Structure 1
């Protein structure tokens, strides 16, 4: 049927008066008709029946012309975003029957996208961000949103004059289907720098001080490289808010930016001019509390810490009432919520501002105390419920406490089984009338077991290392076949096995730890077994001489208990260890006897306090310190050996004489058959979030190895070796390797090791990503330390200094990896030139 023989239904009341043969299709406006048939015309790839069904119209349906059903049919088809034009025609009327035709044209699909003005590496990013995949329907909205998105994107990067043009060209494909090629032409132009920021109306604070407050909007300065002077609208608006907050913090609560003007200069820079109305200086007047029964006025004043007559500070007042940036901060809301008053509300109201003195009422609605109804955990597919529930500080029936929730999040994060960044407490079903609520802790499990597999050359041959650490082990399931996925897991225990070997040494160790011995209290039990064998180097064959060896067998058992006094962040740990050293024709400079043995029976006691939070890999606050003492029995008090006589005899002997040397060996065998010593160590770490995500870690360490009997002397074992990366892959003699970057490994102690050391360091850390798959952070450090052979030499200010930077990567399966570049500012012992740069690779070190 020809076009002029059809009537466009929605406008038929107009068309009927215009068409020459209108009489033929005359119908009554508003009359109901039965649909005789529905035909589909136009250019579309969709089946006729699909279009009819989607329109909602049906054959033999009764409709009004014009009417709501026809309007809805067109609306439904438009909402599909599949068509460029939609018209409904009446092609014929037969008495009370109407025949309809839906003329419809598909939107063209996107064929190719060409991008100009940016690097090729950005093409896919732009296509993905704007959903410009082949086959996408091309609408005016798609073109407009793409243009706006790209324009704003480059403005955010400082390209204030960025221009984006989008040109579309219709093409026909091989099946004569209409498609669209899109050209996106991006002209970034030059970045717009801020040439000047001036203020009008400011009398109290100078322009320089106000510009300093604007942290993200800076004037162009060639000297300042860490903060560029790009103009970014969002940052500028944020700085305007900071500017007003600065005034409010200094008592000018009515301060406002009356107007701000952006002036474009000829040299492609801009000038910002801000008109400030500072207002008057206000002070706090009387502050009264209304509605408080749980706490007295005096108690609330001690938390608010605002005195009458002090400069008005609205920002600080709001933080003293509630500070969302510090979940465990000391403020009024937290004080009430820690006492169970979850449903309380606290509102400051100004009651008078006469003479620029603001009197205030702190209006408190305490509500009912809130009690916990249900406490649940979701997301733990591997870790058994009891391992989690024993760490919770919130129990059903308990009075609600916000500090207990914060502490629970810390404890769950410290387990190491969950992504600490995703632990979330969800309050459910709060009922202010009944005074009850439920808490659901959501956790995301992460791999907690680690594998260490290393190979390399060192010490004259190939060194291979295999380490397995299962940090969520379940020893009770060790005989259950179904539990091996790949090993029994879920009980929070630790099982670690490490094997390391080369042609010159072999070392094996097995460690097991149960954090809740008996299951009723946090009482950690640990046991460790180790075996090490060292072979002497044969200088003729350049191989290991296996007939000459130094063997060490060791076992230790430990028990650590969480204390409740002074607080429950303290842990008291105790352990007993026994090591047996056996020398078989092993003559080196380490000992004066080559055949013989030594035994080391020691008791270690340590007091530690750790309240770092929340992520053990990247703590953002809190501190961790430990003081320990490792003690042997004072054998010289009861073994009836005259060590003074032995010492005098030893000094009288000539080590260059073979017979004297043999006698020296016999004397030292007597001195060291049972090792007698005491070792005191102190270590402290503190973490402080400075600004944004920058975290400052400060560290201090001290160690001292002493002797009960000076005639017996300090033992040649258990010594401190300072310098380098701090990694001690195998330690034959109980030595402790102490990190001090910027110097070669163990280069800052004597060959036999030091008896005293101290070390100080600070690190500034910033996270790159803290995701569950990998946690990465960068750091810069300053360090200083020294090692001494005796107290007579000790000088805590005579230290080797260094500085540098590095990066750490923690992956649950492999532990901590990293690299540091350190610059030593002082010479090594015996040298006169500073050490300079050193590169250190970090594997599995403490965080």
Structure 2
């Protein structure tokens, strides 16, 4: 329509304006109600008294039309006199959009309003309705409505949202018709991989089965991405010449189904033949080949080749300071299925570190971050040390993000900037709160500062009180309360040495779910000293601690005689040595690395006191990345306690709270084993109450999948088994009986973990216990467990 008007008007003006300029004597404007005369004249470029020619009329029409404010634009010649020509610009203003309405839609209307170019209160531009209808059609086709019909009308609204005389409603009438579903995906030319395997490589293009309600219909955009993913899969398998020759969509209008046929040309699988190096002076050929990890005859893989070259092989240059070095792998096909690789190096110059900056730390003091760095100004740049520095800052768990930024300042110098993002809070509620279906609420409350005053120190003041009760017991609830004050400086004066101290007091009533018929009060203190080690590697730590405490027991004399050897007051003096190694890459959700902890405690004996025993605990944890973002977690824990030999005239015993118990969430002083009630695993009384044991073992496997990185939320599937035994002889617990491996209680289930600022870890687990613990021959069945405030 626009072109028609322009052509007609030019015919009117042709005789007057052809080949000459005339004076525009007067410009009139008609038809405008909201747009001013001045704006229309200015936009058209036609003003009284100016000289115009034929092209100016065409330009004026185009400019006015492009404003998007008018449905119709016309320029009329009114008069031609000695003073010049008089014209009138006639416009028909576009209506203002009052509301967008839909008829016949079965999906959320906001899906359309978010995508179409129509805004309430704005003019309805010419052709905008056609464009909007086309977009609505595309959205429907993404959902499988390939026969959808969309039309639009403009109507005068009954109630106006927009104050304008020309306010109008736009109504889209939709006839959805039947929905088509992708029933089959077929492949031709796939000689080396099954159709089932290839379908798995299509991330978003899936066959719609009756049970797969979440599968979307065929989408052109995501299908193009899936074809690229299919090509990448083949290239990673060695088929460098792979291509999708064609894709055909067959429509079954009787069954409203689609069949997608992909015609493939796989080509030959390539293998490495000769590998040569050129221009390498810093690293010799044998070193490069060892890092490359590619042998003659290996199948080519695009993904593995890229990693081997740019991450593994080039690391030798980056660790020696040649961060601007580069390599150009010349891939030369040789024969139908072989590749010769010639690596051409440009080694560049050695780079040194000029300055190291720290930014983003508004709470944590800078020295706390700097003491974790493995690089210093003046050092040769080393990528491995840079990554290790980033990891060591991460593992502090003070920051949501740590970014090492390398800024070149010359050909041989760079500045490093460690940009950190502080966590909202490094203070958390650290006392344990748990709930199990068998025993109800356990735990108390307290607050722990992991980064006290930004100095990287730990300070804890905990005051806890609570009640352990059983929903199925008539006994009085057992109460407990505790007070604990502790302080630890992991790197005193930025040195590798650790110092710490704590004082504690607690009262525990006789327990109904852990059999100990005496109330007792404990008071004591602990002093600790440790340091970071550099051998066997710098992930190792060692710490020594001395504990002094006194316990007072209350109950019947018969119980005191039986359980405490007649002592109503005991004193314990113990010395502990702890070796640990922690190479995890993160604190809250590790995806790689391991954690090892060995603790040996010697109490009594030549140290004095009434509690004479030795206790040893080994705890091993591994974190392994697997497919997608799933992390495999494995844990092995072993513990043993044994009474020391003392003189016959010395009354001595192993305290019940030092013995091992297991089951449930392990709160407040046991070992968790999901799928079973609290403290239910191990030696028991005739009435089924736990009494603790002298050795324990536990194995756990989890598959963890992250749902959120900040805050950290992940789900898991777990399987674990464990047990507690009376004997402290390690050969007995691991005697393999015919009825089950290691005589352990087994369970499996699912769970979820949330790491919330100011709280710590929240967890919920549902576990199924496969073994009988009640003597009735039936498995324990399902048990649920909630944990709150536990540390990492």
TM (norm. structure 2) is 0.82
The corresponding residue for 1:272 is 260
Specify whether residues 340 and 169 from structure 1 end up closer, same or farther in structure 2 by C-alpha distance, changes over 3 A only: same
Q: Within 1, Cα distance between the matches of 2:117 and 2:572?
A: 70
In structure 2, the residue matched to 1:163 is: 148
The alpha-carbon distance between structure 1 residues 429 and 129, as it changes in their structure 2 partners (threshold 3 A), is farther
1:764, 1:779 within 8 Å by CA — same for their partners in 2? yes
Task: Give a deviation string over 1:272-309, Cα, whole Å, max 9, x none.
Answer: 33333333344322111011111111111111122223
> Unpaired segments of 5 or more residues in structure 1?
1-7, 19-25, 323-329, 475-489, 539-544, 640-672, 729-735
* Structure 2 residue 663 is matched with structure 1 residue 718: no
Runs (5+) with no aligned partner, structure 2: 468-478, 684-689, 736-741
Give a deviation string over 1:620-657, Cα, whole Å, max 9, x none.
Answer: 2222221221222423xx97xxxxxxxxxxxxxxxxxx
CA distance in 2, matches of 1:435, 1:425: 16
Secondary structure of the 2:666 match is coil
Match of 1:839 among 765, 784, 787: 784
Give yes or no for the alignment of 1:425 onto 2:413: no
User: In structure 2, what is the equivalent of residue 190 of structure 1?
Assistant: 179
- In the alignment, structure 1 residue 634 sits paired with structure 2 residue 634: no
Give the Cα separation in 2 of the matches to 1:38 and 1:553: 100
| 1:527 aligned residue | 501
- Shift in CA distance, 602/44, structure 1 to aligned 2, threshold 3 Å: farther
- Distance of aligned partners of 1:840 and 1:130 in 2 relative to their CA distance in 1, 3 Å threshold: farther
Are 2:341 and 1:341 equivalent residues in the alignment?
no
Equivalent positions of 1:192-591 (< 5 A) are 192-200=181-189, 202-205=190-193, 207=195, 210-211=198-199, 214=202, 217=205, 231-234=218-221, 236-265=223-252, 266-322=254-310, 331-351=312-332, 353-354=334-335, 356-420=337-401, 423-429=402-408, 431=410, 433-436=411-414, 438-439=416-417, 441=419, 443=421, 445-451=423-429, 465-474=444-453, 490-502=454-466, 504-518=479-493, 520-534=494-508, 550-584=520-554, 591=563
* 8 Å contact from structure 1 (residues 676, 715) kept in 2: no
Whether the aligned pair in 2 keeps the contact of 1:109 and 1:135 (CA below 8 Å) is yes
Check whether the contact 2:434–2:665 (CA below 8 A) recurs between aligned residues: no
CA contact (8 A) 2:115 2:135 kept: no
1:746 aligns with 679
Tell whether the 8 Å contact from 1:108 to 1:180 is kept in structure 2 after alignment.
no
State the aligned residue count. Answer: 747
Indicate if the aligned counterparts of 2:18 and 2:54 stay in contact, CA closer than 8 A. no
Shift in CA distance, 145/718, structure 1 to aligned 2, threshold 3 Å: farther
Pairing partner for 2:667 from 711, 727, 739: 727
Secondary structure, aligned partner of 1:717: helix
Report if aligned partners of 1:584, 1:595 keep a CA contact under 8 Å in 2.
no
Greater CA drift, 777-786 or 571-580: 571-580
2:573 match? 601
1:408-440 superposed Cα distances (whole Å, 9 cap, x missing partner)? 3323322222214xx333443465x45545545
- Partner SS state of residue 193, structure 1: strand
Structure 2 equivalent of residue 703 of structure 1 = 639
Q: Distance in 1 between matches of 2:94 and 2:784?
A: 61
| Shift in CA distance, 298/536, structure 1 to aligned 2, threshold 3 Å | closer
Q: Following TM superposition, by how much is the alpha carbon of 1:838 offset from its aligned partner in structure 2, in angstroms? A: 0.7
Bigger Cα displacement from structure 2, 274-283 vs 286-295 = 274-283
Deviations 1:208-262 (A, max 9, x none): 555565565555667x869959545455444444444444444443333322322
Change (3 A) 1:149 1:836: farther
Contact kept, 8 Å, 1:465 with 1:498, in 2: the verdict is: no
Q: Report if aligned partners of 1:193, 1:268 keep a CA contact under 8 Å in 2.
A: no
Q: Deviations over 1:537-571 (max 9, x none)?
A: 99xxxxxx9xx952211222223322222222222
Aligned to 1:135: 121
User: Is contact 1:584-1:594 (8 Å) kept?
Assistant: no
Deviates more, 1:440-449 or 1:301-310: 440-449
1:14 matches 2:2:
no
**CA RMSD in angstroms, aligned pairs only:** 4.1
Aligned to 2:21: 31
Find the aligned partners of 1:284 and 1:455 in 2 and give their Cα distance.
59
In the TM superposition, what is the alpha-carbon distance from 1:103 to its structure 2 partner?
5.1
Deviations 1:457-478 (A, max 9, x none): 999999894422333322xxxx
Worse overlay, 583-592 or 298-307: 583-592
Question: Deviation of residue 455 (structure 1)?
Answer: 9.5
Equivalent position SS for 1:565: coil
Q: Secondary structure at the match of 2:790?
A: coil
SS in structure 2 at match of 1:301 = helix
**Alpha-carbon contact 1:115-1:186 (below 8 Å) kept:** no
Kindly state the Cα deviation for residue 349 of structure 1 after the two structures are TM-superposed: 1.0
SS in 1 for 2:626: strand
Separation in 2, partners of 1:530, 1:553: 6
**SS of equivalent residue, structure 1 residue 625:** strand
User: CA 1:624/1:155 → structure 2, altered by over 3 Å: closer, same or farther?
Assistant: farther
- Residue 151 of structure 1 and its aligned partner are, at CA, apart by 4.9
Cα pair distance change 1:225/1:119, threshold 3 Å? closer
- Structure 2: how far apart are the matches of 1:374 and 1:162? 65
Distance (whole Å) between structure 2 residues aligned to residue 739 and residue 455 of structure 1: 14
Distance (whole Å) between structure 1 residues aligned to residue 105 and residue 429 of structure 2 = 44
| 8 Å Cα contact 2:140-2:148 kept in structure 1 | no
Q: Does 1:692 align with 2:628?
A: yes
Corresponding residue for 2:700?
Answer: 761
SS in 1 for 2:368: helix
Could you say if the C-alpha distance between residues 352 and 610 of structure 1 is closer, same or farther in structure 2, counting changes exceeding 3 Å? same
| 1:674 match | 610
Describe the shift of the 1:435–1:155 C-alpha distance in structure 2 as closer, same or farther (beyond 3 A): farther
Q: Give SS of 1:579's match.
A: strand
Structure 2 residue aligned with 1:660: none
**Corresponding residue for residue 651 of structure 1:** none
Between the aligned partners of 1:580 and 1:384, the Cα distance in structure 2 is 39
- 2: CA distance, partners of 1:843 / 1:427: 40
Moved more, 571-580 or 447-456: 447-456
Q: 1:778 aligns with which of 715, 719, 722?
A: 715
Kept in 1, the 8 Å contact 2:17–2:54? The answer is no
* Partners of 1:533 and 1:704 in 2: CA distance: 26
Shift of 1:785: 0.9
